[in-house]
Amino acid sequence: MKPAVAPSDYLQDLRSLPAPAGDTPAWLAAARNDGLYLLEHAAIPTRKSESWRYAGAQRLFQQRYAATVGDAAALRPADIEALFCAGPDAFRVVVADGRLVPSLSSLDGLPAGVHVGSLLASGANPPGLTQASPGHLVAPGRNVFTAMNAAGLNDGLLLTIGDGVVLDRPLEVLHLATGGTEPSLLQPRNRVQLGRDAAVTLVEHYLGDEDGAYFCNAVSEFDLAPGARLTHLQHQNQSQAGMHLCTEGVRLAEGSEYIGSRFALGGSWARNEIDVRFTGPDARVDLGGLFTVGEGQFNDIHLDIAHAVPGCHSESRFKGLLHGAGRGVLDGRILVDRDAQGSEAHLHNANLMLVRDAEIDTRPTLEIYADDVQCSHGATVGQLDPAHVYYLRSRGIDPATAKRLLSLGFARETLERCPFPLLGERIDQALEKRLGSPDVQSQEGSA
């Protein structure tokens, strides 16, 4: 596939993005300039690049997406309200086309030591965004997409939790594509910073208008100080024509814990790229979830987990449900460095293929240079067990419903990771819709 658009075609658009209201901070202009420079010199990764071997980034350069800031006024509060599902207690943030919408957010009652808000309001030296601040977890120069995100930076979400603060109410963030008349580029930027022994539960949704054609190019960083604990659920259900790339970096200091779940359901082309870096011993990562692939859909989970220090534990478990003639990818690499003695690392991917002409590329890899480690990796690709289908049919359930129940069952197991029943239901409904013609009886659920 030859790209129809070059990265440099975005330069003009991104350069002339309207500045956010008020004075543009100097650091922002600097960060954007860096991004523009990188973008100008960036190439579209080809399949020759190891990390894009299965993905083919050319797909994202088949058409030009207009870099705009969208129109948050088009969002109706009542519609938004229905999308939240982490409970009435949750602090709420709405980000429309990458820009925070304070009027739709509700942050009353945030305790001292907690900041949730726009990156722009974060002062002179926001973490990770300027040369003088603590480093990037996702470098703008990583690839053409991170450069593009930096070049278009004009807002973002900054969450900081101070030392010792345990936020007992979850924070729920809606990233919305408002949809416009032309295919648009939206570039959310998130920075989450947890202080020493701080803890929070973060629920993120990436959603778009059903008919929207857009490219959501998100960059998120999660920085955990010693003893911090972040529970992070991400629900992605972009539009059928939507493109979605979420590049994420997680950094864990000593004794910290990151529990991350991904429910990647939507989009025409979607990829989660997750880097995990341990910088102190005895930290723990529990990563897992579900990706689904329907007709013509591409969905990619790309993991890079580096154990560079001793005694850390990472556990990654993803399930792939391929229900249409599309393509799924689980490309995960775990690196255990020479000094990372006593590491424990596991990576597993189980896939269910419901159709013959779907494709799955699963490559869980381990690279181990330490000698005292406990590591495992594995992948399975299977079809529904005929004995299971027979059992259901022998109870009078027709084959199509039987297969749907079993496929949902396979996917539903990942919902054990979700502590919010309503979010579980939301994902469940999305799955039922994807698997087609749900019969009313099974949709009503059980008592």
Partner 1 sequence: MSLLDIQDLHVSVDGKPILDGISLRIEPGEVHAIMGPNGSGKSTLSHVLSGREGYEVTAGQVSYLGRNLLDLEIEERAHAGVFLAMQYPVELPGVNNTQFMRTALNAHRTANGEPPLDAVAFMKRLREQMGTLQLDDKLLKRDVNSGFSGGEKKRNEILQMAILQPRLAILDETDSGLDIDALRVVADGVNALRSPERSMLVITHYQRLLEYIRPDHVHVLAKGRIIRSGGPELALELEEKGYAWLLEDAA
392 binds partner 1 (CB under 8 A): yes
Candidates 42, 95, 287, 406; binder of partner 1 (CB under 8 A) is: 406
Candidates 18, 356, 395, 437; binder of partner 1 (CB under 8 A) is: 395
Candidates 2, 16, 387, 437; binder of partner 1 (CB under 8 A) is: 387
Segment near partner 1 (CB under 8 A), from 143-151, 245-253, 255-263, 406-414? 406-414
Pair of tokens at residue 36: 């523009």
> CB of residue 356 vs partner 1: minimum separation in angstroms?
18
Candidates 393, 425, 430, 438; binder of partner 1 (CB under 8 A) is: 393
Window 198-257: residues binding partner 1 (CB under 8 A): none
Pick the closer one to partner 1 by CB: 82 or 387. Answer: 387
Q: Where are the beta strands (DSSP E) in 73-195?
A: 91-96, 99-100, 114-118, 157-161, 171-177, 184-186, 189-194
413 binds partner 1 (CB under 8 A): yes
Pick the closer one to partner 1 by CB: 93 or 290. Answer: 290
Pick the closer one to partner 1 by CB: 60 or 405. Answer: 405
Residues in the interface with partner 1 (CB under 8 A) total 31
Pick the closer one to partner 1 by CB: 182 or 398. Answer: 398
Pairwise CA distance, residues 188 & 154, whole Å: 9
DSSP string for 65-100? PEE----GGG--HHHHHTT--S-TTSEEEEEETTEE
Pick the closer one to partner 1 by CB: 200 or 402. Answer: 402
Candidates 228, 246, 408, 418; binder of partner 1 (CB under 8 A) is: 408
Segment near partner 1 (CB under 8 A), from 92-100, 291-299, 340-348, 405-413? 405-413
Pairwise CA distance, residues 184 & 233, whole Å: 26
What is the per-residue burial (b if ≥16 Cβ within 10 Å, else e) of 198-232?
A: bbbbbbbbbbbbeebbbbbbbbbbbbbbbbbbbbb
Q: What's the sign of the alpha-carbon dihedral 307, 279, 201, 102?
A: negative
441 binds partner 1 (CB under 8 A): yes
Pick the closer one to partner 1 by CB: 244 or 319. Answer: 319
385 binds partner 1 (CB under 8 A): yes
317 binds partner 1 (CB under 8 A): no
Comparing C-alpha atoms, which of 348, 368, 333 is closest to residue 286? Answer: 348
What is the tally of helices (H) and strands (E) in the chain? 8, 21
401 binds partner 1 (CB under 8 A): yes
Pairwise CA distance, residues 35 & 25, whole Å: 16
437 binds partner 1 (CB under 8 A): no
Candidates 15, 317, 377, 388; binder of partner 1 (CB under 8 A) is: 388
Q: Specify whether the CB–CB gap between 382 and 358 falls below 8 A.
A: no
Segment near partner 1 (CB under 8 A), from 89-97, 131-139, 195-203, 438-446? 438-446
Cα angle value 98/103/108 (rounded, 5°): 110
Pick the closer one to partner 1 by CB: 123 or 378. Answer: 378
> CB of residue 429 vs partner 1: minimum separation in angstroms?
14
> CB of residue 428 vs partner 1: minimum separation in angstroms?
10
96 binds partner 1 (CB under 8 A): no
Pairwise CA distance, residues 280 & 334, whole Å: 17
Cα angle value 283/287/292 (rounded, 5°): 170
Pairwise CA distance, residues 212 & 188, whole Å: 17
Pairwise CA distance, residues 181 & 407, whole Å: 37
444 binds partner 1 (CB under 8 A): yes
398 binds partner 1 (CB under 8 A): yes
User: Quick one: how far is CA 428 from the chain centroid?
Assistant: 18
Segment near partner 1 (CB under 8 A), from 22-30, 191-199, 375-383, 392-400? 392-400
Q: Which helix (H) or strand (E) holds 36?
A: helix 26-40
Specify the pairing of strand 298-307 against strand 313-322: unpaired
Which residue ranges make up the site for partner 1 (CB under 8 A)? Answer: 385-388, 390-399, 401, 405-406, 408-413, 439-442, 444-447
